[in-house]
A and B are shown apart, each in its own frame.
Chain A
């Protein structure tokens, strides 16, 4: 176990180093001078040079890379060029929108997917199964930005149940939650559809396993067997998918955040890229990659603890 953990840890660190190199070099070759973006078309050359040296852009590349990495290791993400505030503060502000939004979407999709998947599996081939599977096919196929557009038209403009966008903050939690509802539904819909399908097929797999056959041989009905034994066991692959979806939701909301003008991480990256606020882009992308790598690592270790066979295989 220690050897396995050590091996995984080594590859984790290598992954992080490679990721940081990739991110830094991709972002550094992006054309577009941040200083001339900030100063506009009437800027004079001496003004631009003054700003570039203020931003540290006149330093050699390698030095800037090491400054960036060492800074991050100490928890210092640097200062945003355009916002002129620490990047860590920007991230901290935005994460209070993106994280709740991702969790909200995840809860919604789980609440829709679990009953739908279980119902479809238990009534396999029946009317509800066919209806639910048809609905999930639609859910997967709808482009979520289009769905969001239509929801705004119906619920914000015509019915006025929700505001069209924006985020009032968490000082009033109900208002905050309400403003995240339409975005969360837009994000949750395709996820719910995928999850429901996985729930169903994973349940059906379980139903053909020996222990279910045994249980049924003992006189349990199909539905009893399903509820008592299959659901719990089917959760393992489903939870893995949920884990994967979560990191997707955290970064995948860019377009949705744009449509609902939410001040989240996705929009921060988007704005930072177009303003060539490279230090913000680098740090936020690195943070997202770091999160996913750490989550994967934790999942692997957990699996290895649960299932010793995995250790030997690797």
Chain B
């Protein structure tokens, strides 16, 4: 009723004014509600989904294709040895409370994130910074302990946004940033509202207001979109319903890439998975297409290694582990387990894991492996699987971009310890030449694929369902974000 009234008023106004009749408000649903509104103090992706680029901005930012573009820094110089970055800031930038944004705020934000009592979830992003110096109000100099090819990329993360000392105290409930939208209201458990920042330093947003709603239940999500309670649903949780939206002219469905390699995480130190043949057997017992069809209703790209298929450096290694239960059984027998064995399969809450896990358990049963499923909440998963490494198998999507480096850390939860690979990563970090990097990355992908470190399943897809008239939405999710700065309604 409210919305109806509003659109009636808007169109009446349009008739009188004879101008555009486009709607200027939008209701966007996402699955999870942010626990608080401080992107610099917690890992919850929902915080970034709502605030990234809309309310908070960093020195650099990601665009919709994942490229790093200038943000609050309009340009920068990198010293010859690659350790000193000098950023020139955009002028005329103000925070939503009216205070100006200058080099002091950048220094404050970076120093706060890397300080000892910092609760930044991605503190590693700032690890190499040894000094942050204000040159003048519009110029800031950041010194690193060694060259870091991904520093500009790191500064684009939602955890590296620029905040102000004046407003930091209440950031969790009243976030004050520099973005094209201002935070307006948060009814916890239901919705969060943003309004356009009319004093924005860059191109102002088209939309006047944006309302975020939080709907995690897949049935409720379907109902809310069908009943047109929401205009856009980013990260729609039930792929099985997408064909219905596609068939309905009221809606558009955008299916894009994420950085999420979904893998059957394998505990490489736990017998019998410490045996390469066993891991090889598991890899050959998995029918990827059945998992993509059964768990994701066809959405997802099969992967043969831990790398995003849309990345130019991706190598197709699916041929290393085709679905072949007979071969799988043979490998298992060769490893000394002709009758199979029993292990655990610990699954976190997302449906790719829960449904995928049921399918994989059924596929493993075909070759005699009895994988006992236990469904865990995230906090339990973090404790049991990630920290205590008390698991045989698990399924999880690794959504951090460019994260093949985790295989060089023998302490990481799947406990892969290969000196060659670790040396390769050291070499990669020291290599700046693009062709050389491509070759090294290809080598890295091959090593982990041929070592069958984990079962490589598929690259997670992200589906956005929107009303037909909405324009300017991100199709892909290079980072967790619902960037509304260029979103508009067609006339």
Interface residues of A (CB under 8 A from B): 31-34, 36-44, 46-47, 50-51, 54, 82-85, 90, 93-94, 97, 149, 152-153, 156-157, 160, 163-169, 172, 174-175, 258-264, 267-268, 271, 273-277
Contact = CB atoms under 8 A, between A and B. Distances in A.
B379 A33 contact: yes
Interface string B109-138: 000000011111111100000000000000
Given A34-B379, A44-B123, A165-B220, A268 B189 contact: yes
Interface stretch (B35-43, B249-257, B354-362): B35-43
Interface residues of B, number: 49
Given A38-B35, A93-B189, A263-B190, A32 B224 contact: no
Interface pairs A-B: 4 shortest CB-CB:
A40-B43, A263-B189, A164-B223, A32-B379
B341 interface: no
A260 B383 CA distance: 31
A175 B189 CA distance: 18
Contacts of A40: 42-44, 121
Contact of B226 (A43, A93, A157, A261): A157
A42 B127 CA distance: 13
Contacts, number: 156
B219 interface: yes
Interface string B8-42: 00000000000000000000000001011010001
Contacts of A167: 190
Given A82-B35, A83-B188, A42 B121 contact: yes
Contacts of A260: 220
B187 interface: yes
A47 B125 CA distance: 13
A168 B226 CA distance: 18
- Looking at chain B's contact residues, is the secondary structure mostly helix, strand, loop, or mixed? loop
Which of A37, A85, A169, A277 has the most CB atoms of chain B within a 10 A radius of its CB?
A: A37
B215 interface: yes
Contacts of A82: 35-36, 42
Contacts of A85: 172-173, 188
Contacts of B213: 166, 261
Contacts of B215: 165-166, 261
Given A31-B380, A32-B383, A42 B400 contact: yes
Nearest to B386: A41
B190 A43 contact: no
A127 B363 CA distance: 56
A82 B37 CA distance: 10
Nearest to B172: A84
Contact of B378 (A262, A274, A277): A274
Contacts of A264: 189
10 contacts: A33-B379, A42-B121, A44-B124, A51-B119, A156-B223, A157-B227, A160-B227, A164-B227, A169-B187, A261-B214
B189 A267 contact: yes
Contacts of A268: 189
Nearest to A43: B121
Nearest to B349: A274
B217 interface: yes
A31 B215 CA distance: 26
B412 to A, nearest CB: 9
Given A40-B121, A83-B172, A166-B229, 11 more contacts: A47-B121, A84-B35, A84-B38, A84-B172, A90-B188, A156-B223, A157-B223, A157-B227, A165-B220, A166-B191, A174-B1
A212 B344 CA distance: 67
Contacts of B378: 37, 274
Contacts of A174: 1
Contact of A164 (B33, B224, B379): B224
B322 to A, nearest CB: 31
A260 B216 CA distance: 10
Contact of B43 (A43, A164, A175, A259): A43
B382 interface: yes
Contact of B36 (A46, A83, A166, A262): A83
Contact of A165 (B42, B124, B224, B384): B224
Contacts of A83: 35-36, 172, 188
Contact of A84 (B36, B43, B187): B36
Given A160-B227, A164-B227, A36 B387 contact: yes
Given A43-B123, A168-B2, A259-B219, A163 B383 contact: no
A55 to B, nearest CB: 10
B377 interface: yes
Nearest to B119: A51
A180 B74 CA distance: 50
A275 B36 CA distance: 12
B192 to A, nearest CB: 12
Contacts of B387: 33, 36
Nearest to B171: A84
A258 B217 contact: yes
A269 to B, nearest CB: 12
Which of A40, A93, A164 has the most CB atoms of chain B within a 10 A radius of its CB?
A: A164
Contacts of B379: 32-34, 36-37, 274-276
